[in-house]
């Protein structure tokens, strides 16, 4: 376990790094078959004929893997209590079988909660990056993060 990162441990401009994961062909096809069965996610021949020229990850899979990378890599397991949602997700480059993605998360804003003194609001910009250092996705997240308990 990493040391917990509380609201008080963050400053605007801080950047956190995830580790990385290789996205496999079977993962792309199986996820999409359940949740996003567009031809360019589930069928190699159809994907080759599409504007992407081959299989690409569902954008929802890219979001989910990015979240998992962060949740596991840093000290947020003990302090993250959820999020109101996600803002401004942009899929900028395809994620293809064999690509390895990691993410960086920059703190954009910090605000104490008026209604819940044990919680802080943290807005972050997450960039998901492939093995060629290309940004494949960006998104902003309004998190709820625990405040450091009084000693």
Choosing from 15, 68, 100, 111, the residue that interacts with a second copy (CB under 8 A) is: 68
Shortest reach from residue 92's CB to a second copy, in Å: 9
Shortest reach from residue 85's CB to a second copy, in Å: 4
Tokens of 51: 């504007």
Choosing from 38, 100, 111, 131, the residue that interacts with a second copy (CB under 8 A) is: 38
User: Binders of a second copy among 10-29, rule CB under 8 A?
Assistant: none
How far does CA 109 lie from the centroid of its chain? 18
Choosing from 8, 24, 35, 131, the residue that interacts with a second copy (CB under 8 A) is: 35
- Smallest Cα–Cα separation from 83: which of 101, 59, 63, 102? 63
- Cα gap 142→16, rounded to integer Å: 16
Tokens of 43: 């069928």
* Interaction between residue 1 and a second copy (CB under 8 A): no
- Cα gap 101→105, rounded to integer Å: 13
User: Binders of a second copy among 72-111, rule CB under 8 A?
Assistant: 72, 80-91
- Count of positions on this chain that bind a second copy (CB under 8 A): 31
Assign 118 to helix, strand or coil. Answer: coil
């Amino acid at each position: 376990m990493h040391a917990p990162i509380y609201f008080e441990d963050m400053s605007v401009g801080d950047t956190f790094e995830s580790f990385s994961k290789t996205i496999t062909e079977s993962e792309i096809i199986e996820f999409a078959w359940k949740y996003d069965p567009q031809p360019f996610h589930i069928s190699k021949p159809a994907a080759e004929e599409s504007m992407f020229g081959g299989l690409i990850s569902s954008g929802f899979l890219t979001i989910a893997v990015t979240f998992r990378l962060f949740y596991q890599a840093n000290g947020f397991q003990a302090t993250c209590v959820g999020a109101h949602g996600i803002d401004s997700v942009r899929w900028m480059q395809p994620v293809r079988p064999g690509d390895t993605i990691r993410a960086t998360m920059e703190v954009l804003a910090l605000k104490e909660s008026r209604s819940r003194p044990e919680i802080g609001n943290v807005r972050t910009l997450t960039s998901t990056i492939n093995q060629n250092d290309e940004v494949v996705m960006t998104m902003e997240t309004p998190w709820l993060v625990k405040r450091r308990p009084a000693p």
